Amino acid sequence: MRSLKTLLMLSHRYIGIPLSFMFVLWFVSAFFMIYTGGMPRITPDMQIDGAEPIDFSRVTQTPQQVMEVAGFAPSQASLRTILQRPVYEFTEPGYGSTFIYADTGAAMAELDEAQSAQLASSFLDIPLEELSFAGSHSEVDQWTLTSSGDLPLYKFAADDGLGTEVYVSPANATVSVYTTRKSRLLAWFGTIPHWLYFTSLRMNQPLWYGLIVWSSGIGCVMAILGLCLSVTQWRKIKSFSLKRAIPYQGLMRWHYILGTFFGFFTLTWAFSGLLSMEPFAWTTARSVAVDDAVYMEGELDLAEFPALNSLAWKSLTTNDIKKLDFNWIQGEPYLVASYSVPTDANSVKRDRLHQPYNISGQFQAESLLINARKVEVSTGFDVERLVTKLDASITDASVTEYTLLDSYDDYYYSRQTQLPLPVLRIKFDDPVSSWIYVDPERSELLTMVNKWSRLERWLYNGLHSLDFAFWYHQRPLWDIGVIVLLLGGLGTSLIGLYYGLRRLSYDVKIIVSKLKIISP
């Protein structure tokens, strides 16, 4: 028994020397991530807010006419304003976008440096002379790690007192990245150290992945060893005395107490952090096969859309429309008209740090779905037809249950109500019990979860974000609870780091002294 205790103690001590630093880093950065979100980025709301309104009186070319100029039928099409001119954007998966001016029908060339500066000036709503060119980037840097597909990029710095910097994609005619001095600083305190999002490391995907997985896994081992020591080191005495039962004094006593109370949460955070990398096969199990175009009932036919300068837009909305998407839904032409609404600074935060599944309706700008043939705002689609259509398209499973939800459930939810409601939840009888969520207002597939991703929801989101329904939406109770737990874990790790460094210094001195003795 004594040798087991010694083994536990030595293992915990020497694993803890390097890992305590990682835990301190994770706990400190977690404080910032709670309130600042992830890396600086541009949300769809921000893109629409920074865009110029469309002047439909200048749209002289119909979608059909422009398609003939482009020379192909796109799977996706939209209309927006670029440098004060209406422009159609045609997109085909696997290829770059094609831009055609809606006022002349001429092809738009890739933006040059001067035009990119004008685009940045319009997006930021500042005079052009307040922008300075900060270089052309053909390789990713710290702030373009998730925008590598938009390269090359032009970078501009704004003389606005905020340290604003933007990256413009000349090929896509859009602002790809937007940062300020504050958002960059907060990222350095939060997301970057927490996820080890350092450019050189992140570019080496296998190394970055292995470092996260192994440090999280070994961290779990260290936490388990600590919990075991909290039991084995407890003194069993006849007349109970807490002071005598804990065999330590000073800071080590506090390390024992904090580790005993907060060690379990430290373990669950390390384990759930490991799961965020999806290292196990069950985290990537496939659900039923679903055709993404199941609700289109045909291909996008731009000939079915009317001339846009003839539509009575003011009768549909009083907002300035900044983007128009051409959709084909249930065999009918529809327009998605996006516009700006006043938002607060919190709207750009990430609502969840990670999901084991994607929800396409997240962070969408305010918009209207307009039936292009009837020229009226859509009031939604028949639920029974949505269920029947989806059921008929899936050959390896059948619908067992469907429910129209007016509030979020445990697998489709948002603290800031960013996900659309109502939502149609459809369950299937396939081997992994797939659930599919559909937006009945847009006839759109939102997300799909199976029994394994639902398990991961609890093991990752539940344990890492503590987003349990009974607590997650109760502010500031959630904040207080999480902050207390983080402080407890941080205190344990800091003391462990202190003793680890002190022990390491002592061991190094012993080794050096022995080397001096045996050296000639």
Q: pLDDT tens, 37-93?
A: 788 988 888 899 999 999 999 999 999 999 988 888 899 999 999 999 999 999 988
**pLDDT, tens only, 457-507:** 899 989 998 888 888 878 889 999 999 999 999 999 999 999 988 888 888
Instruction: Give the relative orientation of helices 205-232 and 250-275 as an angle to the nearest 10 degrees.
Output: 140
- Tell me what pLDDT residue 359 has: 47
- Spatial CB neighbours of 328, under 8 Å, sequence gap ≥ 6: 296, 297, 298, 299, 300, 301, 334
Residues 134-162: pLDDT tens digits?
Answer: 999 999 999 999 888 889 999 999 999 99
Q: Mean pLDDT over residues 196-208, rounded? A: 92
Confidence of residue 205 (pLDDT cuts 50, 70, 90): very high
Cα–Cα distance list, 358 to 49, 250, 285, 419, 449 (Å): 24, 49, 14, 11, 9
Cis preceding linkage at 431, omega within 30: no
The pLDDT, as a whole number, for residue 330 is 94
pLDDT score of 95 more than 90: no
- Does the pLDDT value for residue 345 go beyond 50? no
Q: Which residues contact 9 (CB under 8 A, 6 or more apart)?
A: 229
Mean of all residue pLDDT scores within the chain: 88
pLDDT score of 350: 39
DSSP conformational letter for 198 = -
Under 8 Å between Cβ of 266 and 23: yes
Average pLDDT estimate for 254-276 = 93
Helix axis angle, 205-232 relative to 2-36, nearest 10°? 130
Instruction: Tell whether the model's pLDDT for residue 19 goes beyond 60.
Output: yes
Q: What is the pLDDT of residue 240?
A: 63
Which amino acid, 460?
Y
Q: What percent of the chain has pLDDT over 90?
A: 62
CB atoms under 10 Å from CB of 494, counted, come to 19
Write down the pLDDT at residue 520: 58
